[in-house]
Amino acid sequence: MTMKERIRELLNEKKYNTLFEYLTEQNVVDIALVFNELSDEEIIRAFRLLPKETASEAFSYMDSRVQEHLIRVMSDRELELVAKDLFMDDTVDLLGEMPASLVKRILKAAKPEDRKIINELLQYPEESAGSVMTTEFVDLISSMSVLDAIKKIKQDGISKETVYTCYVLDHARHLIGLVSVKDLLLSSYDTVIDDIMETNIIKAETLEDKESVANRISKYDLLALPVVDKENRLVGIITIDDAVDVYTRAADEDFEKMNALSPSEDTYFKTGVFKHASKRIVWLFVLMLSAMITEAIIKNYETALSAIPLLASFLPMLMDTGGDSGSQSATLIIRGMATDEIHLKDFFKVFWKEFRVAFLCSSIIAAANAVRILVQYGDPLVALSVSLTLIGTVVFAKLLGGMLPMFAKLVKVDPAVMAAPLISTIVDSFSVFIYFNFAMLILKI
């Protein structure tokens, strides 16, 4: 029996004590996933049976639809209990998903001291490090002993998202060092924090881009990264689980955009048919409009096509090879920029590399095709036209695929969004245009 079936059964049979026991033994993430599949009425009954310690945590993993439904039916007292145990970053995420009327209720349910912090967190721009950080961390003073520090963790730790990295602050809350619990445990109790703290700190500023901050956490294999304001005062931390979400979401979005999809937050099954269609149709229209340019160019060469209809046969290969060559380059450059390997200053390095790769690839493909067309159709002039077009198209496509994402970043447009429609449009048009011109010149049409 699956967990969902078991919960349903116990709810139906009103065996609430057994259900409570059963829920106590389950993982909170699994509980949340089952809640997402229960009916509205079951959700409410089952939620009231969750053990107090895990209710808030399970709540934070549920779908926003389920969360909204639960908040609507909760009493103010119940909402206060849930809000009290939510971590700040989860509360901020929740507020971002809820309608305005519920936002008010949730803020009212939060402790007054939290409310101030939540409001501050809500001010950070959507793409900033500040928007994904949490404000629950353990802070120490450099004059403390290891024993003092461990006592402080015992006292404060329960409500902190992580205790494994502790932050050493001076009297004005400037970040001056950090110490891991591993170091605390491996040092003797009377060691002074000042002697063991790490002062060479990898950190982020509140307004930095969250993706580059997530990259930093992954690059240095950190469990958490401190976020400071302009005066180096510690205002929050970003934990690795949130960084992983940012990182994978960003990669998925890049590739959705490159494969002609408008990204959405929801998973495949949770997105409805109309939503799916709207995510996809925008790009299909954009790409279709762009194909009209190619269409107009071909229309222009109707005489050439009437004279040698065979020319039309090679259009798919020329356009496919061009489009693929361009998207190969764009993929590598967009990923390279996302993972902080490629920077704008590398423009000419990328240009030169793509040029050589393109020249190599296109020469081989063009030679292979020349031979193939000669054998298949016995027409050396057509073979020459197609081969020359291939070289021109592949070199052009690779340079464009390499440069366009960098140009997009320069003018602060999303490289992945810009790359997808523009590369195929420009490469298709270019390819068809030089093809017919080579053909007319060489075949003397």
Draw the binding track, 392-411, toward a second copy (x: CB under 8 A; -: no contact). --x-----------------
| DSSP letter assigned to residue 142 | T
Does 369 bind a second copy (CB under 8 A)? Our answer is: yes
Q: Which of 82, 365, 382, 391 binds a second copy (CB under 8 A)?
A: 365
CB-based contacts of 263, cutoff 8 Å, min separation 6? 252, 253, 256, 257, 279
In the complex, what is the shortest distance from the CB of residue 260 to a second copy, in angstroms, rounded to a whole number?
A: 4
Does residue 326 contact residue 427 with C-beta atoms inside 8 Å?
A: yes
CB-based contacts of 443, cutoff 8 Å, min separation 6? 308, 381, 382, 385
Does 259 bind a second copy (CB under 8 A)? Our answer is: yes
Q: Using CB under 8 A, which residues numbered 37 to 56 contact a second copy?
A: none
Q: Which of 141, 150, 374, 445 binds a second copy (CB under 8 A)?
A: 150
Largest CA distance in the chain: 93
Q: 130 vs 402, which CB is nearer to a second copy?
A: 402
Q: 126 vs 221, which CB is nearer to a second copy?
A: 221
d(CA 47, CA 55): 7
- β-strands 234-239, 175-180 pairing: unpaired
In the complex, what is the shortest distance from the CB of residue 207 to a second copy, in angstroms, rounded to a whole number?
A: 23
Q: Which of 79, 132, 258, 422 binds a second copy (CB under 8 A)?
A: 258
Helix, strand, coil percentages in the chain from 3-state DSSP, rounded to 5: 70, 10, 25
CB-based contacts of 83, cutoff 8 Å, min separation 6? 56, 91, 106, 109, 110, 111, 114
For residue 217, which of 235, 198, 199, 240 has the smallest C-alpha distance? Answer: 240
Q: 244 vs 410, which CB is nearer to a second copy?
A: 244
d(CA 4, CA 364): 58
Does 284 bind a second copy (CB under 8 A)? Our answer is: yes
Does 147 bind a second copy (CB under 8 A)? Our answer is: no
Q: 29 vs 381, which CB is nearer to a second copy?
A: 29
CB atoms within 10 A of CB 245: 12
- Count, residues near a second copy per rule CB under 8 A: 100
In the complex, what is the shortest distance from the CB of residue 258 to a second copy, in angstroms, rounded to a whole number?
A: 7
Does 113 bind a second copy (CB under 8 A)? Our answer is: no
Q: Using CB under 8 A, which residues numbered 17 to 36 contact a second copy?
A: 25-27, 29
Does 249 bind a second copy (CB under 8 A)? Our answer is: no
In the complex, what is the shortest distance from the CB of residue 143 to a second copy, in angstroms, rounded to a whole number?
A: 21
Does 357 bind a second copy (CB under 8 A)? Our answer is: yes
Does 118 bind a second copy (CB under 8 A)? Our answer is: no
Q: Which of 1, 100, 172, 185 binds a second copy (CB under 8 A)?
A: 185
d(CA 445, CA 441): 7
In the numeric block, which tokens belong to residue 283?
């790009």
Phi and psi at 106, nearest 5°, equal -65, -45
Q: 103 vs 351, which CB is nearer to a second copy?
A: 351
Does 381 bind a second copy (CB under 8 A)? Our answer is: no
d(CA 361, CA 317): 15
Contacts 24+ apart (CB under 8 A), 14-20: 16/49, 19/46, 19/49, 20/49, 20/51
Draw the binding track, 203-232, toward a second copy (x: CB under 8 A; -: no contact). ---------------xxxx-x---------
What beta strand segments (E) does 229-296 contain? 234-239
Q: Using CB under 8 A, which residues numbered 313 to 352 contact a second copy?
A: 313-317, 319-321, 324-325, 327-328, 330-333, 335-336, 339, 341-342, 346, 349
Q: Which of 97, 209, 295, 379 binds a second copy (CB under 8 A)?
A: 295
Q: Using CB under 8 A, which residues numbered 77 to 106 contact a second copy?
A: none
Residues in the chain: 445
Draw the binding track, 410-429, toward a second copy (x: CB under 8 A; -: no contact). --------------x---x-
Q: Which of 84, 108, 154, 233 binds a second copy (CB under 8 A)?
A: 154
Q: 93 vs 428, which CB is nearer to a second copy?
A: 428
